[in-house]
Every structure is written in C-alpha cells, then in structure tokens.
C-alpha cells in the first residue's frame, strides 16, 4: 500500500487555522509503512516546506518518543509538537510551524536566512 500526503478531508476543515488572513489545513502523513531509518528525514523536509501557521499530522505505528527527541534536539524555536496515542495502538503527532513576528521565520535555519 502506498501512502501519500493529502489534505485532510473537507469534513475536518474546521480543524484548520486562519492566520494573517490565510487559511491553513493540516496535511496528514501515515509513515507506518516507511522504513524507520528514513522517517525523521522525511518529516523534517515536510516541516521545512510548511508555511508559517501550517500543520503536519503524522501517524506512526510505534511510540513516537524517538521522533520527538530528534525534533527537540534540533531546537526549532517556532515548532509546536503534540503527541496522542490512538485507540488502535498508533500514535498521532501534530507538528505546527508557528508564526513568529519576532523572528520572521520558522526557525529551521536558526535565523541564518542566508545559510546554505
């Protein structure tokens, strides 16, 4: 089975956020069938591409503590991380790229806008 990143269905539209006059929906990524060696890189790259105020919901089959530890170690100043265990034994992680008027960026570059 192939999993793709898709916007949440319209019935969950109210779970998005309106920031700065723009509406952001949460994208969902199920990584249960992705090799665990590649999960964090995939999630980091998608987070980097999120617009400020956007969210990514990640579904994982096992405890999400190691993923959270990697994101916390990156010390991204504008990241919000919420983890919830679902009834079916999977974990749901919601990662939001908060809008920072002070920083003016998502924090992934650690404020070095000209960094390569």
Alpha-carbon span 85 to 89, nearest angstrom: 7
- Name the DSSP class of 51: P
Is the per-residue pLDDT at 66 higher than 50? yes
Mean pLDDT for the chain?
Answer: 75
Sequence-separated (6 or more) residues with CB below 8 Å from residue 72: 81
pLDDT tens digits for range 20-49:
555 567 889 999 999 988 999 999 999 998
Q: Which of 46, 53, 51 lies closest to 71 in space, CA to CA?
A: 46
pTM exceeds 0.85 for this model: no
CA distance 14 to 83: 20
Domains and CATH numbers, the chain: 6-97 (3.30.110.40)
């Amino acid at each position: 089975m192939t999993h793709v990143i898709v916007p949440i269905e319209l019935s969950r539209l109210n779970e998005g956020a309106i920031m700065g006059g723009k509406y952001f929906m949460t994208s969902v990524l199920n990584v249960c069938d992705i090799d665990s060696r590649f999960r964090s890189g995939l999630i980091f790259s998608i987070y980097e591409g999120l617009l400020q105020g956007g969210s990514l919901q990640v579904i994982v089959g096992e405890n999400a503590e190691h993923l959270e530890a990697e994101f916390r170690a990156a010390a991204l100043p504008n990241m919000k991380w919420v983890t919830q265990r679902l009834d079916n034994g999977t974990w749901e992680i919601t990662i939001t790229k908060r809008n920072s008027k002070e920083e003016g960026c998502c924090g992934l570059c650690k404020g070095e806008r000209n960094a390569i």
